[in-house]
Homo-oligomer: A and B are copies of this chain.
Amino acid sequence: MRILLTNDDGIFAPGIQALWQELAKIGEITVVAPDSERSATSQAITVHQPIRVDQHCFDNERVSGWRIGGTPTDCVKIAVEALLDEKPDIVVSGINQGPNLGTDVLYSGTVSAAIEGALLGIPALAVSLNSWQVSDFTVAAKFTSNLVLTTLAKTLPPNTLLNVNVPPLKKEEISGVEVTRLGVIEYENIFEQRKDPRGRSYYWMGGKPVAVDNSEGSDVAALKQGKISVTPIHFDLTNYNIMPLIEEWKLST
């Protein structure tokens, strides 16, 4: 089994390291990951400047790879279109340090890398640990390894990926696995204005996340209940339901 592994925290992040150590037990791993952190880059691609590609050494004979001067989506594109001899059997993105839940997935480099895999016709998983502090990825890595095997055995429908969020708990503390929909997260007090040493103002984006939809069945709710959430994600942004309504507007030039 050939697994393409990427992330948005960069190739040196502990989350991706935990993942390749675990996944190397079940397959041949190619890591193609950003050379530095590229969080919140969504599905950005690098088209106005060249992309650097350097081979990277791993301390494991079943792991090889490259570090990329680009975004997570660049990594998946360049791996599949230029670096690998054959399409991988699966793309795995993660393990992200921090959750990727609800509407926040729109900004996520981790999830976008998996979307790019699915766009290229490859089964894909995005995996995140629901903590900015806890750095024990063991449970999440083991769950991912099992999910890779299940996904390939059961066959994921085309144009779909799975977005997985794991609570920062010991295996025996986790309350189960739930197939969820995306909730809705909004942010309060999102911008902080400051002055630089020359008196010119600048802003920092921050903000306190507020779960606007954390009702039963959402990924946000599942994590609150100490469960692993598995959300099937598609990428057809057409809103078919309202097409008839817009047709009634009878637009003309």
Given contacts A251-B150, A251-B177, contact A182 B237 (CB under 8 A): yes
| Distance between A62 CB and nearest chain B CB, rounded to angstroms | 25
Give the interface size class of chain A. 35 or more
Contacts of A106 in B (CB 8 A): 43, 112, 115, 119, 235, 237
A78 at the interface (CB under 8 A from B): yes
Are A40's CB and B51's CB within 8 A? no
A44 at the interface (CB under 8 A from B): yes
A144-175: contact bitstring with B at CB < 8 Å (1 yes, 0 no)?
Answer: 00110010001001001010000000010010
For the complex, give the distance between the alpha carbons of A24 and B247 in Å: 27
For the complex, give the distance between the alpha carbons of A179 and B106 in Å: 25
Are A242's CB and B44's CB within 8 A? no
Are A53's CB and B203's CB within 8 A? yes
Residue from the list B43, B228, B236 in contact with A107, Cβ < 8 A: B43
A60 at the interface (CB under 8 A from B): no
Of A27-35, A85-93, A129-137, A189-197, the one contacting chain B is: A189-197
Given contacts A232-B243, A233-B239, contact A252 B177 (CB under 8 A): yes
